[in-house]
Amino acid sequence: MKNYVKAGSLAALCLLCACAQTAQGKLRQAVYDTASAYHLLASPMPDIMAGHVPGVSLSAGQKALARKASQSVLDELSALEQSIQAGNTLAETAVAALQADFAAFSTCWSGLTAGSTPAACTLAMTASTATTATQANAAVSVSTNGKE
């Protein structure tokens, strides 16, 4: 069942990416699609973290890993959505970083709920630190919208 949700999320993400016509439109659509897939995958997190889902039990360490992986995706989504709302140009690298962090979160969360701790969980934490620094640098160059 868990693999079907993950596959469905990724399939929806791939299918919706073809909707936009311009390069910026496609990047914006990719952000929206990733946000939708993230929210679909993360929707049971509160119940699982609270121990309300029978058969799924996470240790404190696993919960911390899940929170950090989830937060890295949320931080990137927030920054990119703010850029979109401000009318700034999106960088392909920022959108690619978001998608990579979502993929790591997806693998991490699916593994944790299945009873294991995948390497993607610890890699997501390492990558999110590097991505946040890269994103901060990109936000400075993007926020000027080509005007200096």
pLDDT tens-digit profile, the chain (148 residues)? 555 555 555 555 555 555 558 999 999 999 999 999 999 999 999 999 999 999 889 999 999 999 999 999 999 999 999 999 999 999 999 999 999 999 999 999 999 999 888 888 876 555 554 444 444 444 434 444 444 3
Joined tokens for residue 7: 């596959």
* Backbone phi, psi, residue 89, to 5°: -75, 135
Contact by Cβ (8 Å): 102, 48: no
pTM: 0.71
